[in-house]
């Protein structure tokens, strides 16, 4: 019996051992499992400027080559320390393969171990309640807190994409 390709992907990605969480470490795409597995191509590098940001930041946007996904990693400019990871796919709802990819990234970035259900619960809560960002948002995002641990937060989000929605997760240092 032929196995679905997403099962093989999960097995391959979970077999890779990571020494330390990626959050707070210098950016190196060779240490990011999904970039090793699928390939990441830098499409944009941009200085982040905002009156609320306490230090200069740089944002790197990658196209995950064989997934239809975008990965944005924000770093502290002076030492290239990763402080935020965003990944999104141009569809909603997520399929099982997307959920497996997102969960693996959460686990690798945070250093924690979580059940796949955190993703579906977050998106269900987001859909039911409209998310925690009901305030006007220039990006049109609706997002919901999924988990918070050791000053690291994870949110799921949806945003307009053409005539439908894209969905993703944001992993960030909390206040």
Using an 8 Å Cβ cutoff, are 85 and 73 in contact?
yes
Which residue, among 23, 5, 6, has the nearest Cα to 107 in the 3D structure?
23
Using an 8 Å Cβ cutoff, are 104 and 112 in contact?
no
Residue 96's Cβ-side half-sphere holds a number of Cα atoms within 13 Å equal to 7
Question: 132 pLDDT exceeds 80?
Answer: no
What average pLDDT does the segment 76-91 reach?
Answer: 95
Bond preceding residue 93 cis, omega within 30 of 0: yes
Q: pLDDT (tens digit, 9 = 90+) per residue, 44-64?
A: 999 998 888 889 999 999 999
Q: pLDDT (tens digit, 9 = 90+) per residue, 85-131?
A: 999 999 989 999 999 999 999 999 999 999 999 999 998 888 887 66
Q: pLDDT (tens digit, 9 = 90+) per residue, 12-45?
A: 333 344 447 999 999 999 999 999 999 999 999 9
pLDDT tier for residue 140 given thresholds of 50, 70 and 90: low
Environment class of 161 (CB within 10 Å of its CB; exposed 0-12, middle 13-18, buried 19+)? middle
Using an 8 Å Cβ cutoff, are 168 and 145 in contact?
no
Which pLDDT does position 139 carry in this prediction? 55
Distance CA 157, CA 170 (A): 8
pTM to 2 decimal places:
0.82
């Amino acid at each position: 019996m032929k196995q679905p390709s997403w099962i093989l992907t999960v097995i391959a990605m979970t077999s890779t051992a990571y020494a330390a969480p990626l959050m707070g470490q210098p950016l190196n795409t060779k240490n990011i499992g999904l970039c090793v597995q699928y390939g990441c191509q830098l499409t944009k590098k941009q200085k982040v400027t905002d009156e609320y940001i306490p230090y200069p930041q740089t944002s790197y946007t990658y196209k995950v080559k064989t997934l239809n996904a975008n990965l944005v990693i924000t770093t502290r400019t002076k030492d290239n320390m990763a402080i935020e990871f965003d990944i999104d796919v141009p569809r909603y709802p997520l399929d099982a393969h997307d959920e497996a990819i997102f969960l693996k990234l959460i686990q690798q970035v945070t250093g924690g171990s979580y059940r796949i259900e955190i993703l579906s619960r977050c998106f269900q809560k987001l859909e039911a309640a409209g998310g925690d960002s009901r305030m006007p948002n220039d990006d049109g995002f609706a997002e919901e807190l999924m988990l918070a641990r050791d000053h690291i937060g994870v949110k799921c989000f949806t945003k307009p994409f053409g005539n439908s929605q894209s969905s993703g997760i944001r992993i960030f240092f909390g206040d």
